Structure formats: C-alpha cells, structure tokens
Structure 1
Amino acid sequence: MPSSTASPEPSTLSRARVLITGGGAGIGAATAERCRADGYEPVIIDRVVDHVPGGIRADLSDPEDTERALQLALQDGPITRLVNNVGVVVPNDAASQTLAEFDLALSVNLRCAFQCMQALLPGMKQAGFGRIVNMSSRAALGKELRTAYAATKAGLNGMTRVWALELGPFGITANAVGPGPIRTALFDKANPPGAPRTQKIVDAIPVKRIGTPQDVAHAVSYLLDARSGFVTGQVLYVCGGMTVGVASV
C-alpha cells in the first residue's frame, strides 16, 4: 500500500545502485563519477562501454536491445535510482527535419526513459523508495533547428510531472534537469567551437561561460539524494541563467 509519509531510503538496501543511461561519456560520465563519490554504485548502459567497468553495451534506440540491457542490469536485484540521461540532438530546420530523424529522437529521448522507468518501478515500489531524474534541456522552451529534440524534451518534462503525481504516494520522486549550453562532444557537434552561432550562445549566457558536465552532475546528485524527498515534479534548469525571462515562474 502507498504511504503518505516521507519515505527515507530503506536501510535494508545493502547496495545503493543507480542506473544511468548514456553514462559512457559527457554529462552521463560526469554523473556516474559524481554518483561514485556520493557512495552509489553506477550501472551504466550505453553504446560504448569498453572503458566502463561493468558497463552494459546496448543500442538504446532499439526497444528490444533496451529490454535486454535492463534485464541484465536488474539481475543483481532492484535499482531504486534512475538517471534517464541518454539523448540525441538531430539538429535540422523545421522544413527539413526528416521522419527518420524525428523517430530516432522520439525513441532515444522519450521512449527509452519511459521503458527504463517501467522496468525499475516494481523494485522502487517494493522498497517504498525511488528517485527518477530525467535529463531534459533548455531547448524544451524553444530553440531554432531543434524541432525533434525540443519536442521530445518537452515531452520528457510532461512525463516527469505525471510520474511525480502518480508515484509520490510510493515514496518515489520524479524530477528533470534542463541543461543549457554544456561543453560536451554532443554540444560541440551541434555547435562547432568558434562558429558565429556558438559565440552568440556564449554571449547570451548571464554568467558568461559555457557550463560543464560537472555542473549538471551536481544538480542530479541533489535530486538523487534520499533527503530530497519533498522535491518532485520539477524541472531544474542548469543553464547559467539563460532561461530567466523565458521559463514560467
């Protein structure tokens, strides 16, 4: 039965594991490093995991391969923390965005998060404790050349709010982190260093610098903490102030 009282992390959990999709590089890798420092055991699913001890290789754009990887991750027991980090950008203008690009963004950015939540949910409910952090983006508020990406990240924000309402009674929180410009390989691919459009982005950041993966990992760490049980259904923008005047109060 769900409980309306605060639900601290069960002391019976001998291993505080956290599943991180796309944890092999960029923000995901920084999040995994921070989780280790916080005392968690990261379980990473990604396409490239040769450099990740215990990493599970999978193509997360494929629902069947995602299911296989999730079954492997859960072989050692329930996982009560989830970071839906994997993502793909596929930049293009609205007139040129292809259905293949749109479908890829939908599968990686949205379907995968939904599938991972459903796989981990029984264990979270049984424990009476769970933390879900979805990696959204400032682009969910609108950004040129991001039709597919913005649509899926806005959808992720919507799912986060629904999960918060439905899962709160079970001691499970669901929040999203919305990074702004973060210096990763993914960002550099979509925004080449030195390009006029990239410089325009930097100039528009109130703190006058590009963010780092560690900036985002710090926010994720807060939302994963057992002491953050009164924060749910929120989108925390880690953007150097770029959403001020754009996001609703």
Structure 2
Amino acid sequence: TVDLSDRHATTETLANLTKQYSFDGVVNNVGIVHPQPLEEVTLDNFEAVIDLNLRVAIQTVQAVVPSMKAKKWGRIVNIASIAALGAQDRTSYTIAKAGMISLARTWALELVSSGITVNVVAPGGIETEMAKRICPPGSEVEQRCIRGIPMKRFGKPLEVAATIGFFFSEEAGYITGQTLFVDGGCSIDVHPYYKGR
C-alpha cells in the first residue's frame, strides 16, 4: 500500500517491489476527478489530477519495463475514460485521461520490438462506489445518467476486468497502441442535440 500522490514514497515502493518480483504486466488504474467548470479550475487541482494520473503511470511503467524487456514479453494497460472525448466540468480529468491514451500510443511504438504491448481500456459509466455516490441508486440523477447510455444500464466492474484480461492474454499479442471503450455504446452515440431531441 502506498499513497501514490507522494512521489518519493511511490519511487521507494516501486523499487522494493521490483527487487522482490519480476513483472509480466501492469494496469495503470488511478484517478481523481475534481470536477470544476472552466472558470473555476484551480491550478492546484489541475496539477493534482494530472500528477496522479500521468506521473504515476510513467513512474510505474519505468519501474516494471526492465523485467518485461528481459523476458521479451509484457503487457501494459492504461485505464482512461470516455471523458477523454470531452466532458462538461472536467477540464483536468479529460486532459489526464486523454494523456493516458497518448502515453499508451507512444509507449506502444517505443516498446513494440521488445515484445511488450501497450493498450487502453476507456470505461464509461460503471457500477462503482464512486458512481453510486454521483448517481445514487433509484434517484432521478441515476435515471438521467442511464438515459444517456445507449444500452440503458451501467457497466459492471467485471466487464472492465474482462477487457483488461483480454489485453493481458497471449491471444491479444498482435494488438498494441489501441483504445477499447467499454461504455455501453456512449462513444459512438450521436449527441441528443443532433438527434433533434
């Protein structure tokens, strides 16, 4: 256990882990949102969101890549979000999650000759504790959220985990630098404005 917002503690923990274990893969699944409209975005919140999403991913991958290169096999999966496509009141978060996609594409090119794949899973609304706080079960807010999802339901954590598991598999060895949206169709749905709703 480590407080990932503490850069030095993270470095120390990763150093200890890589001394004890040889890594086959890593999932970069960290994030904070700090929702704020554009005019209210504070630089402190901006830096906290960017740091926890992107700096931690860089630190972690730098720590585990040597053991993957030694094996000539490895899997890196970054967790982004449908918010990477744009989301109201999410300036910092959307940049951070778009950054996770860009990191994966860049690392995929850098590591392709080492037998390491790098991909992204970008969830939409998933039934997590955080989602339940934002959209309380049975509330009008929850119903409004569900109406915006083409499948008319939230995703399940197991559905995200299964996608990550696929990217970790031997069968996914020819896929790298890709982003797979696990979002009930949200990323392909036409915005209600254009449907004339």
Q: TM-score, normalised by structure 1?
A: 0.73
In structure 1, the residue matched to 2:65 is 121
Which one of 197, 218, 242 corresponds to residue 162 of structure 2?
Answer: 218
The answer (yes or no) to whether the contact 2:77–2:119 under 8 Å persists in 1 is yes
Extract unaligned runs of 5+ from structure 2. 191-197
> Is structure 2 residue 27 aligned with structure 1 residue 78?
no
Q: Displacement of 1:188 after TM fit?
A: 2.7
SS at match of 1:95: helix
131-140 or 105-114, which deviates more: 105-114
Q: TM-score, normalised by structure 2?
A: 0.91
> Is structure 2 residue 63 aligned with structure 1 residue 140?
no
SS at match of 2:38: coil
> Is structure 2 residue 2 aligned with structure 1 residue 58?
yes
SS at match of 1:236: strand
Which one of 220, 223, 234 corresponds to residue 178 of structure 2?
Answer: 234
The answer (yes or no) to whether the contact 1:62–1:107 under 8 Å persists in 2 is no
In structure 1, the residue matched to 2:193 is none
Amino acid at match of 2:58: F
Aligned length: 190
> Is structure 2 residue 63 aligned with structure 1 residue 94?
no
User: What is the RMSD of the two structures over their aligned residues, measured on CA atoms?
Assistant: 1.5
Q: Deviations over 1:33-73 (max 9, x none)?
A: xxxxxxxxxxxxxxxxxxxxxxxx11111211111111222
Pick the structure with more helix per residue.
2
SS at match of 2:107: helix
Amino acid at match of 1:93: P
SS at match of 2:39: coil
Identity over aligned residues, as a percent? 41
Which one of 181, 193, 197 corresponds to residue 125 of structure 2?
Answer: 181
Q: Deviations over 1:179-231 (max 9, x none)?
A: 00001122233444455444222101111111111110010000011221101
Which one of 145, 156, 162 corresponds to residue 106 of structure 2?
Answer: 162
Q: Deviations over 1:53-111 (max 9, x none)?
A: xxxx1111121111111122212232120000111111121111221211111111111
Extract unaligned runs of 5+ from structure 1. 1-56
SS at match of 1:240: coil
